[in-house]
Structure formats: C-alpha cells, structure tokens
Amino acid sequence: MPPLWIVQNRLFSRLCCGLKSPISTQTKLCLTMARPSSNMADFRKCFAKAKHIVVISGAGISAESGVPTFRGAGGYWRKWKAQDLATPQAFARNPSQVWEFYHYRREVVQSKEPNAGHLAIAECQARLHGQGRQVVVITQNIDELHRKAGTKNLLEIHGSLFKTRCTSCGVVAENYKSPICPALSGKGAPDPKTQDAGIPVEQLPRCEEPGCGGLLRPHVVWFGENLDPAILEEVDKELALCDLCLVVGTSSVVYPAAMFAPQVSARGVPVAEFNMETTPATNRFRFHFQGPCGTTLPEALAPHETETVS
Ligand SMILES: [Zn+2]
C-alpha cells in the first residue's frame, strides 16, 4: 500500500485503469463514461434495497461545520498549507511549529458541532441497525465530528486530532486536554504575521507512561506515511461487502481514500456522490448530488416508506 499523497487529476484516470471489473470492458466503459444521475427518487430506490451501506466522508462535510481544511484557495495556516506541515519531515525539523498547528486545530474543532449532514448519517445508522441493516462510516476527517454526532461503526483512517502517539514507546492515547500542554497555551494563531513560538522540545506534549517521557506527536497519518494496515484491512472488507456507497464531501484527490469508491463502482455497485462540486471521480459514479451535505443528506437518508417502523 503506497503512502498518503495527493493525486493530480491527470493521474487519477490512470490509477482507476488498474481496477478489476467483473463486467465486460464495453459495459464498464458505458458505466464509467455516462453522466451521473441527480434523480433523488432513483437514489431512494437503491437506498431502500441496500442492506450494507458504506459512507466515505472527507473534509467537505467538516467544512460545513466551520472546520478549516487548510487545502484549496485561501486554505493557509500562517504561510503554509496542510501538506507542508503534516509531514514527518516538518515535525523532525520543527516539532514546536507542527504542534502549534495541531494545537490550533484541536482548539478550533473543540468549539465546533456536527451539522445536519453528520446527524443524518448517525440517525440513519441507528435506524437501519434496528432493521438488521448496516451503515459503516469510513472517514478521512480527524476532527471526530462523526463520533460527536453519535456515529458508532466508524473507521477513522487518517487518525484523530484527539489522540497522541509517543515517538519513544509508541503508546497511543486519547487526549482532549485544552491546552494540550502549558507551553502551547495561547499559541498557534493562524495569522501569517505570527511569530513561531519556538517552544523547547522538552516543553512540548510528553508521554505520561511510567518511565517514558518521550515526545508525543499527533496520532494522525501524515503525507508520505502509510495508513494503519489493520484499518485498511477492515476498509477492504467493507468495500467488498457493501451494496451501496455514499461519497460525502471528499474531493477524491487524497490517495488511497480516493480509490475506495471507484473500486466499489467497478464491481457494479451504485455509488452516490454528495459534494459542492464535481470531482475527478464524479463521472465514474451512478449518482451525483451537488450542494451542501447538510441539505442533500437529510433528504437522501430520511426514512423510506418501505422501512418497517419499529
Ligand atoms: Zn512513551
């Protein structure tokens, strides 16, 4: 499994070409070249029949809760984008600066709430569970807003802002402290004119395991790092089992998550994309619903008339 990276649009088609399909090349071509439908009634028919739904979510759904993404136009923290600071090299070079960036993000996210899109997914999951149907959420987001909304069956493939990992002993721990350490109190302002705090490494977050005291890092997957193989194995299992897939608020450019839905689509399973704009993958999917997830998802996932109400 290659590490986390951003796929250029031109490369995306080439990557998708490697996907195996159980159907003939001609049929596959028709499927992949057709324009996706935005007919909600047709989507609702697929939804009513589905027993095992996978939701793949990305930064767009968090953005609707006011979480900054640090990608795209204007997406800077000081002078940097996420891909400049979310790397092992940046942390090795300047752990204080990387911790300032993550401290800022933790503080911002703690003040945010799940939106109608997060809540629609969580509500749908609980409701369908009562009908013996499964909804699994695979998220690239590290803000835990799905968790906060009450989503249970959740695979956080890029880790969490609220977990740390010790660089010495490797222990992963939940951490919701605000601030995470005294030295970061009041630091991390995103303004480009802000001076680097230059916090000595011994005052950055440290491991609390007895006898360790090693430097902690955020337990998130950085660019150039591999995703947890155990989580990826679960993801593969879910992608192979699902009979409906929703792609929510992801621009389908961060690899390997960008390949999950095309992989499902290639086996002929309906995939529905809910996004503010079209993405490099849109034409590979059966449905595309443009607009805020907070508007489109509650309608898409509302109780279907065929559902037995318990
Ligand atoms: Zn440790």
pLDDT tier, 7 (very low <50, low <70, confident <90, very high otherwise): low
Tokens representing 307 are: 């559902």
DSSP E strands, 116-260:
134-139, 154-156, 159-166, 172-174, 216-220, 244-248, 254-255
CA of 203 to the centre of ligand 1 (A): 15
Say which residues have a Cβ less than 8 Å from residue 156's Cβ, sequence separation at least 6: 139, 141, 142, 144, 231
Say what the pLDDT of residue 10 is: 47
Cα-to-centroid distance, 261 and ligand 1 (Å): 37
pLDDT of residue 194: 95
Token code pair at residue 309: 């109400």
- Alpha-carbon distance of 206 to 78, in angstroms, equals 25
What is the rounded distance in angstroms from the CA atom of residue 227 to the CA atom of residue 142? Answer: 13
Q: What's the mean pLDDT in 75-96?
A: 94
pLDDT at 277: 85
Least confident of 23-37, 183-197, 295-309: 23-37
| 114-157 tens-digit pLDDT | 999 999 999 999 999 999 999 999 999 999 999 999 999 999 99
The pTM of the full predicted model, rounded to 2 decimals, is 0.90
Token pair 């390997």 in the structure block, residue? 256
Average pLDDT over residues 75-102: 95
- Asked if residue 176 lies in contact with residue 219, where contact means CB atoms within 8 angstroms, the answer is no
**Of 92 and 10, the one with more pLDDT:** 92
- The answer to whether the annotation marks 107 as part of a ligand binding site is no
For residues 30 and 228, give the distance between their C-alpha atoms in angstroms, rounded to a whole number. 35
Residues near ion ligand 1 (Cβ under 5 Å) = 166, 168-169, 207, 209, 212, 214
Q: Tell me if 72 is assigned to a ligand binding site.
A: yes
| Average pLDDT taken over every residue of the chain | 90
Ligand 1 centroid to residue 246 C-alpha, Å: 38
Q: Is 77 annotated as a binding residue?
A: yes
Residue 198 in marked binding region = no
Beta bridge partners of 53: 135, 244
Greater model confidence, 24 or 266 = 266
Query: Known binder of ligand: residue 255?
Result: no
Question: What pLDDT was estimated at residue 38?
Answer: 96
Is residue 33 scored above 80 in pLDDT?
A: no
pLDDT of 20 higher than 50: no
The pLDDT confidence band at residue 9, using thresholds 50, 70 and 90, is: low
Helical ranges in the chain per DSSP H: 9-17, 25-33, 40-49, 59-63, 82-85, 88-93, 95-110, 116-129, 145-149, 229-241, 260-265, 293-300
Q: Is 58 assigned a ligand-binding role in the annotation?
A: yes
CA of 170 to the centre of ligand 1 (A): 6
- Ligand 1 center to 215 CA (angstroms): 7
Which stretches of 95-158 are DSSP H helices?
Answer: 95-110, 116-129, 145-149
* H helix intervals, 142-210: 145-149
- Catalytic residue annotation: 158
CA of 193 to the centre of ligand 1 (A): 34
Q: Are 261 and 268 in contact (CB under 8 A)?
A: no
